[in-house]
Amino acid sequence: MPTFQQEIHSPRRGHDDTYSFVFEHNELTISTHSRQAVCTWRENRDPAWSGEPLEQMLANENICPPEDFSGHMSHLWQAWRRGELQDSEAEAELQALVTWLNAITRAKPRTDFWRRYF
C-alpha cells in the first residue's frame, strides 16, 4: 500500500499544504488536515467517490482544479491497480498531475476584482 505525499498550493492559506494519497487495491484515499475523499473500486462499474468530494476539498482552499480532476485521479489509481504502473511510476505521474494543478492555481488572476471571486 504505497502512500505518497504531495504539496498542493493553497491560495486561501498562502502556502503549500501536504496532501496524502494512499493507493490500496480497493480504494484510493486523498486527505489533508481533517478532509478526506475516498474512491472505491466496484467490480464491473465505475469507481464510487465518498467522503468529501475532491473538487470541494480543493475549492475550500481556493484551488480551481481542471474539469474532472477526480476522474484524472481515478484514472491514475486504476492504472496502478491494474499493474500498468509500478509504485515509483504512479508517484511520478501523480507529481505530474499535481504540478499541473499547482501551475493552474498559481496562474489565477491576482487583481482585487478576481480575488473577490476566487
The SS3 assignment for 22 reads: strand
Q: Please state, in angstroms and rounded to a whole number, the distance separating the CA atoms of residues 57 and 47.
A: 19
Q: In 3D, which of 61, 13, 19, 24 has the Cα closest to residue 36?
A: 19
The SS3 assignment for 31 reads: strand
User: Per-residue pLDDT for 118 more than 90?
Assistant: no
The pLDDT tens digits for 56-112 are 999 999 998 999 999 999 999 999 999 999 999 999 999 999 999 999 999 989 898
Q: What is the pLDDT of residue 116?
A: 79
The pLDDT tens digits for 32-53 are 999 999 999 999 999 999 999 9
Q: Please state, in angstroms and rounded to a whole number, the distance separating the CA atoms of residues 100 and 84.
A: 22
Q: Domain boundaries in the chain?
A: 3-115
Q: Record the pTM.
A: 0.92
Please, what CATH class does the domain formed by 3-115 belong to? Answer: alpha beta
